[in-house]
């Protein structure tokens, strides 16, 4: 059972879903395993999580499209080049598929690393922005307080003077 998301109608971070706190899973019954290492980590359990609709939405996952397109492009180029250089078609096709798969994986991981760096930068910017806003509010409050004290002091000085004295 997951915890409900926080009501973030006035939270500026609600527009940035990657900055929101992840939901936690809490066991609802004693039959659920308490230790995550005791979970069933078999290949069949992982395979059972894949549904046919997953194949229809693979292009929507972040970085998958870039990785696949780069893999297809470079794999095709390597396969054609190996074929032109004299390898038999089946071996050139093997080179194309291998290069395409390896390139797709590498491009996907590179893109994911860039996304993680960007998330860290955005989180840092949000943190620094909050600190700067707090500092500016404190400075404005201090200026307001000083101005009020100065006005109060001037009023007291004017009260202390006689209106009929010139000097």
Instruction: Provide the pLDDT confidence category of residue 7 given band limits of 50, 70 and 90.
Output: very low
**What is the model's pLDDT at position 30?**
46
Query: pTM, whole model, 2 decimals?
Result: 0.55
**What is the model's pLDDT at position 1?**
45
- Over the chain, what is the mean pLDDT? 80
Residue with the larger pLDDT of the pair 51 and 80 = 80
First to last CA, the chain: 82
Residue with the larger pLDDT of the pair 83 and 21 = 83
Angle (CA) 129-132-136 rounded to 5° is 140
Q: How far apart are CA 62 and CA 19, in angstroms?
A: 16
**What is the model's pLDDT at position 54?**
82
**What is the model's pLDDT at position 159?**
75
Residue 103 pLDDT exceeds 90: yes
Two tokens, residue 37: 């290492």
| Bridge partners, residue 25, by sequence | 2
């Amino acid at each position: 059972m997951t915890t409900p998301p926080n009501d973030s109608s006035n939270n500026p971070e609600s527009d940035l879903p990657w900055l929101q706190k992840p939901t936690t899973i809490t066991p609802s019954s004693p039959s659920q395993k308490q230790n995550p290492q005791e979970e069933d980590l078999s290949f069949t359990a992982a395979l059972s999580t894949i549904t046919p609709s997953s194949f229809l939405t693979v292009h929507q996952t972040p970085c998958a499209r870039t990785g696949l397109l780069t893999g297809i492009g470079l794999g095709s180029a390597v396969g054609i080049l190996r074929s032109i250089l004299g390898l038999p078609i089946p071996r050139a096709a093997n080179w194309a598929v291998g290069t395409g798969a390896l390139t797709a994986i590498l491009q996907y991981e590179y893109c994911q690393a860039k996304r993680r760096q960007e998330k860290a930068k955005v989180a840092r910017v949000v943190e620094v922005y909050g600190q700067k806003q707090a500092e500016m509010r404190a400075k404005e409050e201090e200026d307001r307080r000083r101005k009020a004290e100065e006005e109060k002091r001037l009023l007291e000085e004017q009260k202390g003077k006689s209106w009929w004295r010139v000097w």
